[in-house]
């Protein structure tokens, strides 16, 4: 199953199939392995997400020509579990309009997956930084469309 075909409901259902968190961590890492790697040319300071313990890069593209363009996000990390958490965030946000992205309650969705209780405070801070960056890019897209 590709990441493009998954949504947050699928993730919640898949998580419920695992009896313990070791299996869920393996699943998260596997999600990260299914993400296409970012080209080295995109692994530059301008794309680096600050506030993450591991190295995290995030880029995006805006679908052109649509009445309500969709934003697509691409990410990578040097840590397997972080790359998996990035995959979860891309499933949550990528392919949606800026308005949809801004309406998503990421904390609630991550709590639904129980990730809020099962990742370290440092990783949680990194996830928050990525979410903040995604929301800022969506807000910029809304501002650009309004002008």
Per-residue pLDDT of the chain (147 residues; tens, 9 = 90+): 567 788 999 999 999 999 899 999 999 999 999 999 899 999 999 999 998 789 999 999 998 777 788 999 999 999 999 999 999 999 999 999 999 999 999 999 999 999 988 888 888 999 999 999 999 999 988 777 666
> How many Cα atoms occupy the beta-carbon half-sphere of 52 within 13 Å?
26
53-88 pLDDT per residue, tens: 899 999 999 987 777 889 999 999 999 999 999 999
Exposure string (b/e) for 83-101, b if CB count within 10 Å is 16 or more? bbbbbbbbbbbbebbbeeb
Cα 45 vs. chain centroid, distance in angstroms? 19
Residue 104 in 3-state DSSP?
Answer: coil
Question: What per-residue confidence (pLDDT) applies to 14?
Answer: 92
Concerning whether 52 is annotated as a catalytic residue, the answer is yes
Q: What domains are there in the chain, each with its CATH number?
A: 3-146 (3.90.1010.10)
Q: Which of 6, 28, 31, 52 is flagged as catalytic?
A: 52
d(CA 99, CA 2): 25
Long-range CB contacts (within 8 A, 24+) of 3-8: 3/31, 3/34, 3/35, 3/87, 3/90, 3/91, 4/95, 6/91, 7/91, 8/91, 8/92, 8/109, 8/112, 8/113
Contact (CB, 8 A) for 33 and 23 = no
């Amino acid at each position: 199953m590709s990441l493009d075909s998954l949504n947050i409901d699928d993730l919640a259902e898949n998580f419920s199939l695992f009896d313990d968190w070791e299996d869920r961590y393996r699943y998260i890492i596997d999600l990260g392995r299914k993400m296409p790697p970012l080209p080295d040319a995109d692994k530059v300071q301008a794309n680096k997400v600050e506030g993450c313990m591991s190295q995290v890069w995030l880029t995006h593209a805006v679908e052109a020509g649509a009445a309500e363009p969709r934003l697509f996000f691409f990410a990578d990390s040097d840590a397997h579990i972080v790359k998996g958490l990035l995959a979860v965030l891309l499933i949550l946000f990528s392919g949606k309009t800026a308005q949809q992205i801004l309406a998503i309650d990421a904390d609630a969705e991550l709590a639904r997956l129980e990730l809020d209780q099962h990742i370290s405070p440092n990783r949680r801070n990194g996830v928050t930084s990525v979410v903040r960056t995604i929301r800022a890019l969506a807000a910029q897209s809304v501002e650009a469309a309004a002008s």
